Amino acid sequence: MISQADRARLQTYLRRMLRNPDVALDAPARAKGAVHLRIGDDVLGTVDQVDDEGERSWAVTLIVLEDDL
């Protein structure tokens, strides 16, 4: 699970890297739910925390619906 502090750090990083101040990481609705990556009202995907051999990283999964194409 991604802590609130890490979520805030990631959000700041993604806003800077994507050059978009509207990027937001929403807390999961339930305890073990996914963190949603959104820009404005559009949910673009999820973010998961990966802990492997003492190293921490985050994986972003983009979701593209066929109706959106």
pTM reported for the whole predicted model: 0.84
- Quote the domain boundaries for residue 32: 4-64
Binned at pLDDT 50, 70 and 90, residue 52 comes out as very high
- Asked whether residue 32 carries a pLDDT value surpassing 80, the answer given is no
Q: Given this model, what pLDDT does residue 10 score?
A: 96
Measured distance CA(23)–CA(13) in Å, rounded: 10
Binned at pLDDT 50, 70 and 90, residue 29 comes out as confident
Indicate whether 55 belongs to any domain: yes
Indicate whether 10 belongs to any domain: yes
Q: Given this model, what pLDDT does residue 23 score?
A: 97
**Sheet of strand 35-39, all strands in order from the earlier edge strand to the far edge:** 23-26, 35-39, 42-52, 55-62
Indicate whether 37 belongs to any domain: yes
Q: How many structural domains is the chain composed of?
A: 1
Indicate whether 54 belongs to any domain: yes
Indicate whether 69 belongs to any domain: no
